[in-house]
A and B are shown apart, each in its own frame.
Chain A
Amino acid sequence: MPEWARRLSAGADPALVARVVRLAAAEWVHPERVRRALAARLDAGRSTAAAPLIEALEVCGAGPLPSAAAAERLACRLLRLGTKIAVVGEPGYPARLSTAWPELGAPLWLFVRSADGRVPHGTAAVAVVGTRHPTLEGLRTARDLGRLLAGRGVVVVSGMARGIDQAAHTGALDADGATVGVLGTGLDVAYPAGHAGLRDAVAASGGLVSEYPPGTPPRPPNFLWRNRIVAGLADATVVVEGRARSGALQTARVAAAQGREVLAVPGSLYQPASRAPLDLIRDGARALTRLDDVFEVLGALPPPAPPRGTQTPFPGVDGVAGEVLRLLGAAPATPDRLAAASGHAVGAVLAALADLTARGLAATTPRGVVAVGVPPEGAGDG
């Protein structure tokens, strides 16, 4: 058995790992084919343990089995990326995800890039998902939710997509918590572009996982399968925003099929981005009416960490900037109105707005300035 198999394993049987790598190196092997083989075995009533399934794939004849050299090349690539391989049924495979095997979308194997080669286990996990084109409100909700959950030690799972997903990851990182990102591409592919920093941060916190081998480009079907893993890694899924027929809806439905709780953030009836969550609520999902509601679907959690000591939530924001920040909300405000309401000269208000924007506490929209990161009521001590 090759030496690299041991190094690529985080608890799984190295022999299985070696066979998995060899299979993964074949270009005719991709998750779709694996699923077909799995479905065939299910229909035939055959065993769906990992080892027999791998054997079935090796002899299925859909293509040549890669040479040992090709397998070694893939292994080197994986080692360079710092990844490990988890195989279903073996130690090191996420426990929650294995309940979704074999019928509910769990992958046969998973590439994991994290500090210890595994995803966090033993603690509660919640998936926060949504559209790639959210409103500022949605982004704020996702980020606040991520922050709140991570602050209580809950792992935040999402898909690393632009928009809601990244906001949730960022919120968890804000609170120094653990967050796991599930990719629809290879772990080395830079998609979405320009977010390498976030990817690295997520990998360092909870981990980055993918069932696709390195180099796999983003293709729309990949993301649908990825969503099943997102739901499978969590105890509950929260849909923050999504348009009608969006991927977030699919994630929620898979989560329900997997027996997990689904929550949705009710938004405005007129906001297209709130259509998916509203439809889910209509179909029976739980409405998230306060950020805290998410804790009701989780079991007992350890008590929250004591607050970090300062009185104001924003150390260092005082004076005009502090007053302006208190006046800002989710509705866009113009400098004129802020000046009139605060009684300060408009020049000072403008300077305060630039300051707040630079700190990430406010954001400029075409209609005015909105607050970002202000904890809404009912957020506890987080």
Chain B
Amino acid sequence: MSTGLHGRARSVAVVGLDAVPVAIEAHVGGGLPGMTVIGSSGPAAREAVHRVRTALSAAGLLPGARKVLLSLAPADVPKAGARFDLGMALAVLAAVGTFPETAIEETAAIGELALDAAVRTVPGVLPAVASLPASGVRRVLLADGNAAEASLVEGLAVVPVSDLAEAVAVVCGERAARPVPELPPKAAGWGAPDLADVRGQAEARRALEIAAAGGHHVLLVGPPGCGKSMLARRLPGILAPLSHAQAMELATIRSVAGRFAGRSGCALDTVPPFQSPHHGVSAPALLGGGSGVALPGQVSLAHRGVLFLDELFEWSRAVLEGLREPLEEGVVRIARSKATVTYPARFQLVCAANPCPCGGGDACACADEAIWGYRAKLSGPLADRLDLAPTLVPLTADDLLAAHDGEPSAAVATRVAAARAAATHRWGQGALNADMPAARVRAVTRPAALRFLAGAVERGELTGRGYDRVLRVARTCADLEGADVVTREHVLEAHAHRLALRAAGRTPVGGRA
């Protein structure tokens, strides 16, 4: 009668952004030698057997061959990847008595094992570790490279271990836990680039300011080389820095996407993200996807920040269609074979396009009708959501030689912050003008302003939906001025910002209707 030996360890699985505690049980008993894992799935999981067994023998911790059965529970949670290796090895060692079970009762282990028993980093550590204090875990063992993101979580001890031997030594109490490697301080000058670098382009700067203050989406129109992407990159610099909660949310998304290091690899990044996918990118890369459990896409990596779509007319319509859900609801829901995950994707959109089929610029000889026809190609979820369409002009020699730089981001950011504060005060926490129902905006608008808009609808310059959108932009213009009520001036400016979007513009003479 051999009852076998039993051991337990704890780890965490990550599905989307959610963490699920996983209990690893090891049973060592009689029978033909071999190791089997149940309750896990996917190729990396299937290969776990080899990694764990090889690592154990490389570390000299498991003499002899045994029959080992490992179970990962709960079985119905998808457990992809190799993050359970370390936990599995510890469970086996607990089963054979290397250390008492109580030693790792309140310890979790997350890490992949190399064949030489080194511990390797895995993605998604931040949400995993963030879930641990709630389930009673006091200590987590993980790879050196994951320690930085794990240390963002409070309430438990983060113990970096470089290999299995060190892990065992720490668990047995023979070695003290190493402190988490010092995070490098934020590099000086790190952050979004400054608007002062941009010369001229007054209309585009104004449009960016309005976009930032109200959460509106922008289309930058101009020939190649006039500074569209330069301006787009500077939008995060005038948005407010992320709050702690927002920064943690963004860090979680980056962690799950395997990009925690981000651009700084340092303390929590509070600069709003900027993502600039190429127009040939696939839909799963943009929106999120992949087989098994979906990974976050560019739209989620731009959550709370800016998504920049350059060369808007080169994008495939099918891919742009996929933006409908994030633009309307602020999330992306992806269903895959193993699980349906929801990733947040609330971003500000900046698009860039050439003004006309030939690319624009001084040599452009396109007829006016051809240009309006080209712009009419804009369709799908973006057509109605772009509220500001400034035109950028190539700089002249005078502009480039001008003595002064443009206004710096800090000054603009102050105005933006004041306007946002006014909106928050009026609508409530976190609400931006771009999201407010039109009826509520109408309530604080002067009748003269509403009459102008009605006139524009009658003249065919505006649709009903456009009416609502202009109203919201006008509300933002008023906020930037510190005005409580939206006046005709504000509405005029808001309307003017969309003039470049008018498809097949009416000629000024052509009939007196």
Interface residues of A, Cβ cutoff 8 Å to B: 133, 136, 139-140, 142-143, 162-163, 166-167, 170-171, 173, 194-195, 197-198, 201, 334-337, 339-340, 345-348, 350-355, 357-358, 360, 362-368, 372-373
Contact = CB atoms under 8 A, between A and B. Distances in A.
Contacts of A163: 510
Contacts of A195: 511, 513
B493 interface: yes
A376 to B, nearest CB: 15
A63 B69 CA distance: 105
Given A336-B393, A366-B356, A354 B496 contact: yes
Contacts of B495: 354
Interface of B: 200-203, 205-206, 355-356, 364, 366, 368-369, 371-372, 375, 390-391, 393, 452, 455-456, 459, 477, 489-490, 492-493, 495-497, 499-500, 502, 505, 507-513
A271 B455 CA distance: 35
A180 B493 CA distance: 40
Contact of B477 (A162, A347, A360): A347
B511 A194 contact: yes
A334 B393 contact: yes
A354 B364 CA distance: 25
A173 B512 contact: yes
10 contacts: A133-B369, A136-B508, A197-B512, A334-B203, A334-B393, A339-B202, A339-B203, A350-B493, A354-B492, A368-B391
A138 to B, nearest CB: 10
Contact of B459 (A139, A142, A334, A358): A358
Given A351-B493, A358-B452, A198 B511 contact: yes
Contacts of A197: 511-513
A357 B372 CA distance: 17
Given A166-B511, A170-B509, 7 more contacts: A167-B509, A167-B510, A346-B205, A351-B496, A366-B355, A366-B366, A366-B372
B387 to A, nearest CB: 13
A143 B511 CA distance: 11
Nearest to A352: B492
Given A358-B459, A366-B371, A350 B496 contact: yes
Given A363-B507, A366-B372, A198 B512 contact: yes
Contact of B203 (A143, A350, A362): A350
A170 B355 CA distance: 31
Contact of B508 (A334, A340, A351, A360): A360
B203 A366 contact: no
A interface SS class: helix
Contact of A346 (B206, B355, B368, B507): B206
A248 to B, nearest CB: 17
Contacts of B455: 358
Nearest to B398: A340
Contacts of A353: 496, 499
Given A346-B203, A358-B455, A364 B499 contact: yes
Nearest to A337: B393
Given A351-B489, A358-B456, A139 B502 contact: no
A111 to B, nearest CB: 22
Given A136-B507, A170-B511, A336 B489 contact: no
Question: Quick one: which of B205, B497, B508, B510 has the most chain A CB within 10 A?
Answer: B508
Contacts of B201: 336
Contacts of B513: 194-195, 197-198
Question: Quick one: which of A136, A171, A195, A355 has the most chain B CB within 10 A?
Answer: A355
Given A364-B499, A366-B355, A162 B510 contact: yes
A336 B203 CA distance: 6
Contacts of B489: 348, 351
A224 B206 CA distance: 52
Task: Please list the 3 inter-chain residue pairs (A to B) with the smallest Cβ-Cβ separation, ordered nearest first.
Answer: A351-B492, A350-B496, A366-B371
A1 to B, nearest CB: 40
Contact of A139 (B369, B456, B507): B507
Question: Quick one: which of A136, A347, A352 has the most chain B CB within 10 A?
Answer: A347
A368 B391 CA distance: 9
B478 to A, nearest CB: 11
Nearest to B481: A347
Given A195-B511, A358-B459, A335 B493 contact: no
A339 B511 CA distance: 32
B202 A335 contact: yes
Question: Quick one: which of A142, A339, A352, A357 has the most chain B CB within 10 A?
Answer: A357
Contacts of B492: 350-352, 354-355
Given A136-B507, A162-B510, A347-B493, A357 B371 contact: no
Contact of A372 (B368, B509, B511): B509
Contacts of A136: 368, 507-508
B206 A350 contact: yes
Contacts of A340: 202
A335 B203 contact: yes
Nearest to A195: B511
A139 B508 contact: yes
Nearest to B505: A364
B206 A347 contact: yes
Given A346-B206, A350-B203, A351-B492, A357 B499 contact: yes
A364 B502 contact: yes
B510 A336 contact: no
Contacts of A167: 509-510
A259 B92 CA distance: 112
A166 B510 contact: yes
Nearest to B390: A335
Contacts of B509: 139-140, 142-143, 166-167, 170-171, 372
Contacts of A171: 509
Nearest to B375: A366
Contacts of B356: 366
A135 to B, nearest CB: 8
A360 B511 CA distance: 12
Contacts of B391: 334-335, 368
A162 B369 CA distance: 14
A362 B495 CA distance: 14
A323 to B, nearest CB: 15
Nearest to B497: A350
A365 B511 contact: no
B86 to A, nearest CB: 59
A199 to B, nearest CB: 9
Nearest to B507: A139
A170 B509 CA distance: 7
Question: Quick one: which of B205, B366, B513 has the most chain A CB within 10 A?
Answer: B513
A366 B503 CA distance: 10
A162 B509 CA distance: 10
Question: Quick one: which of B206, B366, B492 has the most chain A CB within 10 A?
Answer: B492
A347 to B, nearest CB: 5
B386 to A, nearest CB: 16
Given A334-B391, A358-B452, A366 B508 contact: no
B492 to A, nearest CB: 4
Contacts of B508: 136, 139, 357, 360, 362-363, 372-373
B299 to A, nearest CB: 30
A306 to B, nearest CB: 25
Question: Quick one: which of A140, A163, A170, A354 has the most chain B CB within 10 A?
Answer: A354
A17 to B, nearest CB: 33
Nearest to A366: B371
A299 to B, nearest CB: 29
Nearest to B499: A364
